[in-house]
Amino acid sequence: MASWHQCLVAACLMLACACAQAAVQMQAATLTLPGVELTRVHAEASLGADGKPVLRIEAAKASIPTLGWHDVALTLQGQPQRADGSAWKFVGHVATQKAPGNALADAGLTILYDRDGGNLEVDVVQGKSNLNAQLPLDQPSHLQVKLAAVPLAWLKGVLAAVWPDGRLNSGTLAGDVAIDLAQGDTRVSGRVSVSNADLDSKSGTMAAQKLGAQGNFRIDTGLATASVMWDGQLHGGQLLLGPLFAQLPENPVGLHVAGSFGPAGIALDSLDFDDPDALRLSGSVGFDRHGALDKLALKRFEATFPAAYARYGTTLVRSLTGFNSLTTSGSISGALDLGSNGPRVIDLKARDVTLDSHGGSLAVAGLDGGLDWRAGATRPATQLKWNALSLYRLDFGRASLGLKDDDGVLRLRAPVSVGLFGGTFQVGRFEWRPDEVKSQRLSAAFSVANVDVDQLCTALGWPAFGGKLGGAVPDLVYRGNDLVFGGGLSLNAFGGSVSVTNLSMQRPFGNTPELAADVDMDQLDLAQLTSVFGFGQITGRMDGAIRGLKLVDWKPVTFDADLTANGGGKISQNAIKSLTQVGGGGIAGGLQGMALRLFKTFGYSRIGLSCKLAKGVCSMGGISPDPDADGNGYTIVEGSGLPHITVIGHERAVDWATLVGRLKSVTEGNAPVIE
């Protein structure tokens, strides 16, 4: 193994010999320079066609750990020449194979060795890229480098040593960099400017595109981890950090960050970010080895809307709430500490905040006040108020909530009544444990009184009908992602009552919320009911039940419904036609078809219709199987008196979408005409 000083002496001897004969060759198993190791080296000195000496050095493998080079083929060729005094200059060409990012694949090379000046200078030019390195001879562990338009891809090897999951794709680098070697550790530091950086991670959780940056940096690499520091500015481009996506403005944004990279992940222990008109924050953030966010501790933050949401909040809000788009204004400030086991600090102060999800799920106007919670701690009381609040198209009036954190449980200090569609919605109890993940995190009790059903139906896009909604939920519990309602709600409408029990929701704030419930109907006045829905006129009273109702994204996927009217009454020709179309059936006999054409109203003794929905198919049924059919029929209307008429359904299995289409058709007045 030879040192770099020995290499220079050998090169000088070879040149001297080349002047006396045609060519001189030299082989070496290994040559070492500061931070460089060359293996299977072949050197040849000869005279060129112009009579000037030519030196060619080939290394089968070149290893430069600082650059992440391993087993890179290297070729140097050029003309050595004496410079001023004792200095020597080498002017020629360098080529590599298998270097990260094709670094120095075809570059001009100038090496100046000044023994008296105590310096070795290397200058490389490839296209518009220039790299100039200064190596003091008395301090071979220190290297000073100037960079101009150097492709970031040349640093793929450096990134692989610091961040194995990362990939550099494009961009350029300029600035001054110092490289220091000490006992196996490497420090790279300096001030640089980055243009149009494009990078990502193999896991897809971290990325940057067309990112601009300038500032001071430091990277210290060791055996297991690497520490990093950046103090400067970002401008333009896009940045992805787990669920945090940033659309950076062209105006400079201040960023200071310091932390470490290692097998366990990325820990940014010091983070300061300053986008003056959008987002300011300081704290720490961590990502696990897969690139997923597992720690976010912001000791101070201030978000000013709408800029904060537009630039930094779209992806985070979508991942946490499922809201694809929000209209925002106002500001929120405070502190936030979220760990892998749940939140530890939630300290929020809202100033005239407006949010609107545009889908009816959430809208709030004039939100002011604060919320102060610490895990396992007791905090001063706070007040939170709003001018208007809408949840799932339910419009609540102005309200003010008094909140108090007692030993990690955020409680409502006193019951609160809020206006709701002409009635009241009262929250009697509210307890929230934000740090609970699997067990009960929220418990509440509320009641509803005298809510106008007409207004409620209009808000939900339903056919309007009269009545009042009331009821109480003495125990609402939120466990994991499930919201379970104890007690029930009752609706006084159509001269009877509708009760909703066993109500629960999964992922209530997600993309596809699921709702489950049981519904019981008691003595509904069919005359009122059918007049509202345009079904045709029916008199009498109806009872019914919908068991196991399940809605996914507010669309029915399963239920077992049974509707009956056993007390008799009158049914119009149009209502018979509607029931006939829904059941996919017909009139029991030819004489009845004639009667249907002659009479407008008929008597009945019983009406019954059932549907059991599963896997997109509704299994239909009625009062009883039709004795005149082949086993698939069922009676929907059992006639009474003269003229006597019976309606029979003939389709047992009906596609749910088809059945919905039939119901829509009959309620819009498009039922078929029976002649």
Closest Cα to residue 245, out of 209, 290, 283, 197?
209
* pLDDT recorded at residue 360: 66
What does the block give as tokens for 115? 């023994």
Contacts of 50 (CB under 8 A, 6+ apart): none
Rounded CA-CA distance 180/425 in Å is: 69
List CB contacts of 398: < 8 A, sequence separation 6 or more. 385, 386, 387, 388, 418, 419
Under DSSP, the state recorded for 621 is E
C-alpha closest to that of 526 among 566, 554, 557: 566
| Cα gap 255→275, rounded to integer Å | 9
Residue-wise pLDDT tens digits, 307-357? 999 999 888 787 767 778 889 999 999 999 987 777 899 999 999 999 998
pLDDT digits (tens, 9 = 90+) for 220-274: 876 667 889 999 999 999 988 777 789 999 999 999 999 987 777 788 899 999 9
Residues 448-479 have pLDDT tens digits of 888 888 888 788 776 667 777 887 888 888 87
Q: How many CB atoms lie within 10 A of CB 673?
A: 6
DSSP string, 97-163: ES-GGGTTSSEEEEEEEETTTTEEEEEEEETTEEEEEEEETT-TTEEEEEEEEEEGGGGHHHHHHH-
Query: SS3 helix, strand, coil % of the chain, rounded to 5?
Result: 15, 60, 25
Asked whether residue 40 carries a pLDDT value surpassing 70, the answer given is: yes
Q: Are 76 and 89 spatial neighbours (Cβ–Cβ below 8 Å)?
A: no
- The residue type of 160 is A
Q: Is the separation of the CB atoms in 480 and 498 below 8 Å?
A: no
% the chain with pLDDT above 70: 86
Average pLDDT rounded to a whole number, residues 620-631 = 68
Closest CA to 77 of 100, 45, 104: 45
The pLDDT of residue 411 is 93
- The C-alpha angle 178, 182, 186, rounded to 5 degrees, equals 50
Each residue's pLDDT tens digit, 95-105: 999 998 889 99
Q: Looking at the whole model, is its pTM more than 0.75?
A: no
**Which one has a higher pLDDT value, 666 or 85?**
85
Q: What is the mean pLDDT of the chain?
A: 83
Q: What angle do CA 562, 568, 569 make, to 5 degrees?
A: 110
Domain ranges of the chain: 1-112, 494-667
Q: What is the pLDDT of residue 349?
A: 97
